[in-house]
């Protein structure tokens, strides 16, 4: 089955892409998809412990099983901002 993958913030910078499509097996979890990407883009290794996972714009646990045509999004921790005085 085919899923669309989106990477945000630092993940996008490290992988050198924001969006991609992947062929995955039935029953594949969101976490397994990230592991596959980390294998292809070693700079992503280690982020799995602090990611937010979303499927079709809904937050899901890492063990959520994706379906054909789903959009899987990986969101790293984000900090910073600007304080206006």
CATH number for the domain spanning 57: value is 3.10.20.30
Q: What is the pLDDT of residue 46?
A: 85
| Residue 80, domain member (yes or no) | no
Residue 7 has pLDDT above 60, yes or no: yes
- Span of 40-44, 60-64, 75-79 with lowest mean pLDDT: 75-79
pLDDT tier at 77, thresholds 50, 70, 90 = confident
- Span of 19-28, 32-41, 45-54, 66-75 with lowest mean pLDDT: 45-54
| Residue 84, domain member (yes or no) | no
| Residue 55, domain member (yes or no) | yes
Termini Cα distance of the chain: 51
Count of structural domains within the chain: 1
* Burial class of residue 25 in the structure, from the number of CB atoms within 10 Å of its CB (0-12 exposed, 13-18 middle, 19+ buried): exposed
| Residue 46, domain member (yes or no) | yes
| Residue 41, domain member (yes or no) | yes
| Residue 81, domain member (yes or no) | no
Contact indicator for 44, 8 with CB cutoff of 8 Å: no
pLDDT tier at 81, thresholds 50, 70, 90 = low
Range of the domain at 14: 2-75
| Residue 82, domain member (yes or no) | no
| Residue 61, domain member (yes or no) | yes
């Amino acid at each position: 089955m085919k899923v669309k993958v989106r990477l945000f913030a630092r993940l996008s910078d490290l992988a050198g892409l924001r969006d991609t499509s992947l062929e995955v097996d039935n029953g594949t979890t969101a976490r397994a998809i990230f592991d596959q990407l980390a294998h292809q883009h070693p700079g992503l290794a280690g982020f799995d412990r602090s990611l937010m996972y979303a499927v079709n714009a809904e937050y899901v646990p890492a063990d959520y099983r994706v379906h054909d045509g789903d959009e899987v999004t990986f969101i790293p921790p984000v900090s910073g901002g600007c304080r206006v005085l």
